Structure 1
Amino acid sequence: MDPRSSPTARSAMRCVRLLLGCTSAAELLGTVLAEGPGWITGEGSALYLLDPGGMLRLTASQGLPDWAHERYSVVDPASELPAAMALKLRRPYLLSPERTSVDYPNRNAGMGTGMVAVVALPMIVDEQPTGVLVLALAHRGTVPRRDLDVLETLADACAHRLAYLLEHAGAPRAPRTGGAAPNGVRPGPGPDGDPAAGTAHPLLSLAVRAAGHGAFERDLVTGETHWDAQALRLVDRPAPAGGGPSPAPDLDLVVHPEDLPDVQAALAEALATGGPYRIRYRVPRRGGGVIRIEETGEVMLDVHRRPVRISGLIADLDHGRAPGERPATGRVAQRAGNTGAAAGGTSAAAARSALLLALTRALSRAVTVRDVTTTVTDVARPAFGAASIVLDLVDEGRLLPVAHTVYGGPRRTELTRLADLSEGVMQRALARSTPLFSEPARRGRGRGRGRERERPPGADTAGGPLAPAAWAVLPLVASGRQVGSCLITFGTERVFSREDRTLYSAFAGILAQSLERARLYDTHHHRATELQRAMLPRTLPRLPGIASAARYLPSTEGMQIGGDWYDLLRLPDGRIGLVIGDVQGHNAEATAVMGQLRSGLRAYATDGHDPAATLARTSRLLAELDTELFATCLYLTLDPADGTLRAARAGHPAPVRLSEDARAVELELPGGPPLGVAPDRPYPLAVEHLTPGETLLVYTDGLVEDREEDYDESVQRMLGGLELWARNAGPVRVEPGPALERLADLLTLNVTERRSRPDDVALLLLHRLSTVH
């Protein structure tokens, strides 16, 4: 196969092209994380630049904790830290997963990035160092040479682009807005030590100002929103005295009331899909009249396709004409879209319907309760302009909070506190089956009646950050059943019109239906998973001469219960049987067939048949069942006294031997067809030997299979991980049981970190002890 046609190569080449068009250090790091190979995880990645004093300064990062930013924002090139070592050695400097979990960035830190590999790559152009690119990798073992080549190529592209920017425009720096760069990249202190130093190319900034455009940025992770002085002037709001960025006014304080539903609908569409968008709307002027605005921006998504940042420009469509010359009628709000195409204006009722439709489409893609809460966090909250949304679900007659789907940090603590404070008012709203709306400003003018008299959540913290300026509590009822309650809070005062209340009530109905469907799915999936688990051994038997460990992980996509199974058998004459198999398909039938095969194979094995004969009989059994499914299987026996292995393989991945000298190799076992495919065909019997201190791994393909990577490359990556573990973990014979458990956790770690798991996973580790007890 042409290596240029592999997913990794295509991704790397596209990434290099995009890197050569970046305009800042933060954008370079964000592009590497977003467009580079998927095994660059992002968490714990950073970009350092050499300042005029010869020190390495942290310019952009992702996933580094605050203590690391404070302690390692400046790195001495003469130190022993990874960035300094890469620059001194002028080659990639690798840290294994074990080292990053113990001593990254150094032994005194006390915290690490966990079980990931980290590589520091020097950025050098014409023998002149520019900085260092530090990336966290999903590798669980030795980084293959081909992957190092890709990493060095990306670092070279970053180095050349930075050298050009330094020569033509001064050093790229962190964004003025303080928000996240693409894909959640966090800016570090600028070369002058000012964390608010700008990143934009000066010529680009000058062109934006000359065109009369304003710039804005919204960090969806932290909730921070910033507009520059020109953007504020365009919407007739006072600019900060220093001329820098300022927190943005809420949408309902800027956008014309008739255009607001259009803007919210467009924003909901953009947040749900990501990518560029364009919206036109009117802004009322305090002296009378309106100004027409075009907002052009882009929604940035992280590696899990969650929106993390919005940034763009605001333009005056009337080009500064006097208010009297501007058309003051006619709706101009336009829909967002990935193409940037705009549609004509609509009525207020149609715009609200469009917003509900956008939210409905987003919620319709949510499968689990977690998916629903993610959609509420990522799409509904920004579209409504809400500060927070808290969901409670009815569980056995009680309201219990749903885990808040936020990005962590202070907002998680804040939401937890808000959920506690709002428990009473959410229960009252559900008991009455009536939405509650709080309008403190309106109530202060003596106009509040009835529902406005409810005490707002967090009122006991008057003046504190948890006391919302306005809020709505929506009872969630689906098919006549109480599902839960939803609290929506706002950071600025507002009045809920009759149309607003109708909109939020309709949203509550849609949300309730989505949650009810998601809870039903979660319940069915849990029961199916438990059924499959019940067919697997609850514990592995304690057998003489060996130590063992096993893991099973169910699929996370759809109702995909599968047919993976494993077994450890006590056989006649003191031998030990090891079985692992995978039935085709992901449904109840596959699980049922798996149970029948497991029972049949166990019976044939305990009757004393060798592995080849056992598989042949099991294949005939499957062919006689009323099913069209087939299965792969590996069955081997071990004599713990002399280490003799006898094995047969039916279309299953080969077992892996991990020797005491830290070498991991696949056993070359001849195989036959999957079970049930050719029931009359015999299986070859292979004989191997397992010496004391060696470990055997058998697994199903879900452990290594990755849609974005060639299967053979995934297997080689796993073998490298095993070798790295064996070199750094010490002899297994010292404490074989705990060591195998740690190895099983390490092998499954890469699978559990994936956003979704399309296939279930099973693995079994067997270690031959030095003595038979």
Structure 2
Amino acid sequence: MAPVEDENRAVRSAMRCVRLLLGCTTAAEMLATVLADGPSWITGEGSALYLLDSAGMLRLTASHGLPGWAHERYGTIDPGSDLPAAAALRLRRPYLLSPEHTSADYPNEDAGLGTGMVAVITLPMIVDERPIGVLALALAHRGTVPLRDLDVLETIGDACAHRLAHLLDHADGRLPQSAQAPAGPAGAPGRPMLSLAARAARHGAFERDLVTGETAWDAEAFRVTGQPVAPDGSAPELERIVHPEDLPDVRAAMAEALAVGGPYRIEYRVLRRGGGVVRVEESGEVMLDVHDRPVRVAGLLAEHGDALAGERAGQEEPQDGPARQDKAGAARTALLLTLTRALSRAVTVRDVTAAVTDVARPSFGAASIVLDLVDEGRLLPVTHTVYGGARRSEPTRLADLSEDVMQSSLTRSAPLFSEPGRGEPGRGAPGGTTGGPPGGPPGGPAGSPAAWAVLPLVASGRQVGSCLITFATERNFGREDRTLYSAFAGILAQSLERARLYDTHHHRAGELQRAMLPRTLPRLPGIASAARYLPSTEGMQIGGDWYDLLKLPDGRIGLVIGDVQGHNAEATAVMGQLRSGLRAYATDGHDPAATLARTSRLLAELDTELFATCLYLTLDPADGRLTAARAGHPAPVRIAGARAVELDLPGGPPLGVDPGQPYDLTTGRLAEGETLLVYTDGLVEDREEDYDESVQRMLDGLELWARQTGPGRIGPASALERLADLLTLNVTERRSRPDDVALLLLHRM
């Protein structure tokens, strides 16, 4: 019941914060309310509130814990810049920076950033499509914020936005003009001269949201392409306006741009409304998020030459059939190669689905792509969170509604393509298929895709899964298109099969490792404890990290943490032997120094060349007396009040290196209310950072946590569990985890 009670308490706290926000009269009071009455995991250090001023710039209005240099550097932010606050306002959704990125991009201990323990989220404040500003909050999270916490943050951001809009309306009679214009290329807030320059050069601006699939054009973009202006600024589908001979080239070029990110340039012909052709040059940039996934494309459309030359381009002598086919075939081959490269870099099933979502979907011009995988003879949807964005539920709905047709395609090992022109009258796009039964993804006229393809995924003669690709506009699939999609299905099937084997191996390796560790920690009077283990993401992903909490015969408690060299089955086997041997020596009554000496001799007698580091200490819960010895292992950390320091503990050689070498025995005392942290070096080690700096960053983060938690509140088991989660989350967002991670926390109450 404890987790449910904690969740209910968090909801009540958030609702109380919202009620207080709706009574605030200034931006400063609003930020102070969020920090004082919001969830406890909003740390406060480095938080800020920005409002759009009359010039369309984000201006720092209230802050907490920001040093002078941050006020000078980030006092005013251009909404067109790459800073997180600007990105959140443009994308109109929360923008998260993990501690790894805040440490690298905005390092400053005084701001509470760069400690490796704080994430920063920027929340856009928008009311009735009018941007008001941005709320930036520092969080005691690492990387991904849980959906429950994200909902709370968005609710707080919305409450701030509506209250500020009300205050601005009553103060000035209306919102500033910059806040009335939607953020995007059409309004170009904050850079009116640049927008004017683009219009003077007769260039059109565009913006594509790769998460939602929406594309917006300004009025000049419609003029350049000769298309009627849409009332909502939404752009027409590329398939409707790009010359059919150029469409394969455009798709191949976009796939390459999405795969690598950054600036790109494409030249193609556009079919004008009412006849005629104009040659257009599209230059833009693919923008990536903090995880290097493409989320947005923005740029300019320009006529390539004068209008007369564009008209003549449509009247040029057409290429003969073979030449045109060769050109289109080369473009399709280039597209397929780009997709192959993107999928070849994918390691896990999640990586494969991300490549499909980020590169394949926009390259094909698809509205969505849904993957089902075969599991014990049944088709099961891939985890839908990989799709992300506001339309996350759409692939789930399509997968549920299309189960029968996807199963039919897989059973017959034949792709199914919708043929709108051949459907029965009145049935719409899914009314007919080629090579399969009538019908398709159901859902009624309002919910059905205009066109779709279902591809069976078969690798090495084995059924892997099925892929549904839907389109927002009708299309007929020619022979070349069907060949392209079939080839893509083969590559995707191979990638998914390889990724599934990797995921299975990873899962089994993790299970083996965890089977060698304690399933639960013993409950001991006067003591609270918490432990975590994360496997390596390289090699076999099993290693020799272990921990143990021992109940000794004389009433004392034994605390063990160790790390066997290597990441393979041998390291795990040696770890199991050492754990058993050390436990036997400890329960026989040997002190930590003698226990490590005997364990070192045990390792030297084993048929292995591996060595191990280890730390063993004992604690008497009655008086707090500590005895400890260390064999080449990182020193334990004492958290007392708002201080976190390493214990002065002399170390000897790693186990098995010099079996005749004795170890020093150190004594000390752990007072009531103090906490010990023992860990393996994978918790702090970073290939791009000096080890001592990494340790200091962790210590700084622990002190920040202790300050925010408050004196006397770190002891309860729930708080200790949160600290353990925070410490392990400190490494989960790294692209690579070359070493195992193990930690054990012990608090004397």
Listed one character per residue, the Cα deviations across residues 422-451 of structure 1 (whole Å, up to 9, x for unaligned) are 111111111111111113245368996743
| Aligned partner (choices 442, 449, 455) of residue 439 of structure 2 | 455
Distance 2:375 2:715 in 1: 44
Partner of 2:662: 682
Mapped pair 1:614 → 2:615: no
Distance 2:19 2:687 in 1: 38
Q: 1:182 to 1:568 in 2, by over 3 A?
A: closer
Partner of 1:239: 229
Report the AA paired with residue 229 of structure 1. Answer: A
Kept after mapping to 2: 8 A contact 1:442/1:495: no
Matched ranges for 1:654-733 at <5 A? 654-659=635-640, 661-707=641-687, 709-727=689-707, 729=709
Q: 1:655 to 1:213 in 2, by over 3 A?
A: same
Q: 1:508 to 1:608 in 2, by over 3 A?
A: same
Partner of 1:582: 563
Mapped pair 1:374 → 2:354: yes
Report the AA paired with residue 131 of structure 1. Answer: R
Kept after mapping to 1: 8 A contact 2:706/2:714: no
How far is 1:403 from its partner?
A: 1.1
How far is 1:759 from its partner?
A: 2.9
Kept after mapping to 2: 8 A contact 1:563/1:583: yes
Distance 1:560 1:177 in 2: 37
How far is 1:520 from its partner?
A: 0.7
Kept after mapping to 2: 8 A contact 1:696/1:765: yes
Kept after mapping to 2: 8 A contact 1:391/1:487: yes
Distance 1:69 1:208 in 2: 42
Q: 1:582 to 1:173 in 2, by over 3 A?
A: closer
Matched ranges for 1:336-375 at <5 A? 347-375=327-355
Report the AA paired with residue 308 of structure 1. Answer: V
Partner of 2:529: 548
Partner of 1:393: 373
Q: 1:491 to 1:656 in 2, by over 3 A?
A: same
Mapped pair 1:194 → 2:143: no
Distance 1:623 1:671 in 2: 19
- Structure 2 gaps of 5+ residues are 1-13, 52-56, 98-121, 133-175
How far is 1:404 from its partner?
A: 1.9
Distance 1:725 1:177 in 2: 31
Distance 1:253 1:69 in 2: 47
The SS at the match of 2:301 is strand
Distance 1:736 1:70 in 2: 29
Distance 1:469 1:294 in 2: 29
| TM-score between the two structures when normalised by the length of structure 2 | 0.77
How far is 1:117 from its partner?
A: 4.9
Mapped pair 1:485 → 2:413: no
Listed one character per residue, the Cα deviations across residues 454-485 of structure 1 (whole Å, up to 9, x for unaligned) are 31313x322x2x31000001111111111111
Mapped pair 1:213 → 2:213: no
Distance 1:680 1:413 in 2: 64
Distance 2:486 2:79 in 1: 55
Kept after mapping to 1: 8 A contact 2:677/2:745: yes
| Aligned partner (choices 744, 749, 757) of residue 724 of structure 2 | 744
Partner of 1:6: none
Kept after mapping to 2: 8 A contact 1:374/1:405: no
Listed one character per residue, the Cα deviations across residues 366-417 of structure 1 (whole Å, up to 9, x for unaligned) are 1111111111111111111100111111111111111124464541122221
Kept after mapping to 1: 8 A contact 2:347/2:499: yes
Mapped pair 1:255 → 2:255: no
Q: Would you say how many aligned residue pairs link Structure 1 and Structure 2?
A: 642
The SS at the match of 1:386 is coil
Q: 1:133 to 1:631 in 2, by over 3 A?
A: farther
Listed one character per residue, the Cα deviations across residues 98-119 of structure 1 (whole Å, up to 9, x for unaligned) are xxxxx73674xxx759465552
Mapped pair 1:272 → 2:259: yes
Kept after mapping to 1: 8 A contact 2:638/2:676: yes
Distance 1:235 1:602 in 2: 76
Kept after mapping to 2: 8 A contact 1:178/1:195: no
| Aligned partner (choices 595, 615, 619) of residue 638 of structure 1 | 619
Q: 1:734 to 1:676 in 2, by over 3 A?
A: closer
Q: 1:395 to 1:331 in 2, by over 3 A?
A: farther
Partner of 1:537: 518
Mapped pair 1:650 → 2:646: no
How far is 1:665 from its partner?
A: 2.1
| Aligned partner (choices 207, 217, 229) of residue 227 of structure 1 | 217
Mapped pair 1:510 → 2:496: no
Distance 1:589 1:179 in 2: 47
Distance 2:359 2:581 in 1: 51
Distance 2:631 2:622 in 1: 27
The range that moved more, 286-295 or 368-377, is: 286-295
| TM-score between the two structures when normalised by the length of structure 1 | 0.75
Q: Share of identical aligned residues, percent?
A: 69
How far is 1:250 from its partner?
A: 1.5
Distance 1:526 1:173 in 2: 36
Report the AA paired with residue 104 of structure 1. Answer: V
Mapped pair 1:81 → 2:81: no
Q: 1:234 to 1:556 in 2, by over 3 A?
A: same
Report the AA paired with residue 202 of structure 2. Answer: G
Distance 2:22 2:553 in 1: 64
Partner of 2:10: none
Partner of 1:140: none
Mapped pair 1:204 → 2:194: yes
Partner of 1:159: 75
Report the AA paired with residue 533 of structure 2. Answer: Y
Distance 2:333 2:613 in 1: 52
Kept after mapping to 2: 8 A contact 1:275/1:298: yes
Kept after mapping to 2: 8 A contact 1:180/1:219: no
Kept after mapping to 1: 8 A contact 2:277/2:311: no
Kept after mapping to 2: 8 A contact 1:122/1:155: no
The range that moved more, 67-76 or 612-621, is: 67-76
Distance 1:768 1:617 in 2: 29
Q: 1:270 to 1:112 in 2, by over 3 A?
A: farther
Distance 1:474 1:559 in 2: 33
- Structure 1 gaps of 5+ residues are 1-64, 86-102, 137-142, 166-171, 333-343
Distance 2:91 2:629 in 1: 63
How far is 1:74 from its partner?
A: 12
Partner of 1:282: 269
Report the AA paired with residue 449 of structure 2. Answer: P
How far is 1:628 from its partner?
A: 3.6
Kept after mapping to 1: 8 A contact 2:578/2:603: yes
Report the AA paired with residue 362 of structure 1. Answer: A
Partner of 2:34: 104
Q: 1:407 to 1:132 in 2, by over 3 A?
A: farther
How far is 1:495 from its partner?
A: 1.0
Name the Cα RMSD after superposition: 3.9
Kept after mapping to 2: 8 A contact 1:662/1:724: yes
How far is 1:279 from its partner?
A: 1.4
Report the AA paired with residue 34 of structure 2. Answer: Y
Report the AA paired with residue 208 of structure 2. Answer: R
Mapped pair 1:120 → 2:47: yes
Listed one character per residue, the Cα deviations across residues 619-647 of structure 1 (whole Å, up to 9, x for unaligned) are 33334434343322111122333322111
Kept after mapping to 2: 8 A contact 1:703/1:751: yes
Partner of 1:59: none
Q: 1:527 to 1:160 in 2, by over 3 A?
A: closer
Distance 1:254 1:68 in 2: 50
Distance 1:163 1:308 in 2: 17
